Amino acid sequence: MSAPTYHHGRLRQALIDAAADAVRERGPEDWSLRDVGRRVGVSHNAAYRHFAHRDDLVVVLSELTMARLVDALHQRLALVKGDDPVLRARRALAETGRGYVDFAISDPHLFRLAFTSTVATEPSPPPERDPYGVLSRVLDGLVEVGYLTPEARQDAELTCWSAVHGFSILCIEGPLRGAGDAERNGALEQVLVAIDRSYAATTGTVIGPDDLRVGA
């Protein structure tokens, strides 16, 4: 494999990019800082001047992956439009779930690195790098339009996150990993509809056959 080139003064970024490539090719565990240095074409001593330990790179990759996930969720939420505020809020939650699963499937090894690493990162990431915060704001929107009661809103992030994260893992390394797009998407819709109906039940909202799909 030929070593990637980098401009003078950009070795740190080159190491980060090479580490991301290593994770995507070999998984979240089977790589080292020495491997990353070799990919870039520098000695391990040169790499150590930017990252003293592999864990330092893991932290950076995890934070960057979380930021990319947040961007992906915002892009999905930007597609949610419509005049009905209740339907718009419901679709926002569904799109958040779809965006989360799509991101996990599209970049599974970095996704797993970000969520399974035991390396300590900052306990409260800023909003621009916090997918949990995105979900919180979407859930707050359901309360604002009267679709979800404040009492049921408490800790609703845990329910939603557990559902879509668990589904993502089933798709990456579980029984759904060999499923086709149609089968996987159909199963995900069942999960999202179940969450949607359970929240409607908290306020006694009567829901019709509205499709949670954006643009439906």
- Res. 56: pLDDT tops 70: yes
Residues ≥6 apart with Cβ < 8 Å to 62:
113, 114, 117, 119, 121
pLDDT digits (tens, 9 = 90+) for 84-101: 999 999 999 999 999 999
CATH 1.10.10 fits 11-48, yes or no: yes
Higher pLDDT: 105 or 2? It is 105
Which of 1.10.1840.10, 3.10.20.600, 1.10.357.10, 3.30.70.20 would CATH assign to domain 55-203? 1.10.357.10
The domain limits of the chain are: 11-48, 55-203
pLDDT digits (tens, 9 = 90+) for 59-88: 999 999 999 999 999 999 999 999 999 999
- Res. 7: pLDDT tops 60: no
Q: Report CA dihedral (147, 152, 154, 157) to the nearest 10 degrees.
A: -70
Residues ≥6 apart with Cβ < 8 Å to 192:
93, 94, 97, 98, 212
pLDDT digits (tens, 9 = 90+) for 123-179: 566 766 789 999 999 999 999 999 999 999 999 999 999 999 999 999 999 999 999
Q: Do domains 11-48 and 55-203 have the same CATH topology?
A: no
Please give the Cα distance from 147 to 139 (Å, whole number). 10
> What pLDDT sits at residue 148?
98
Cβ contact 6:13 at 8 Å = yes
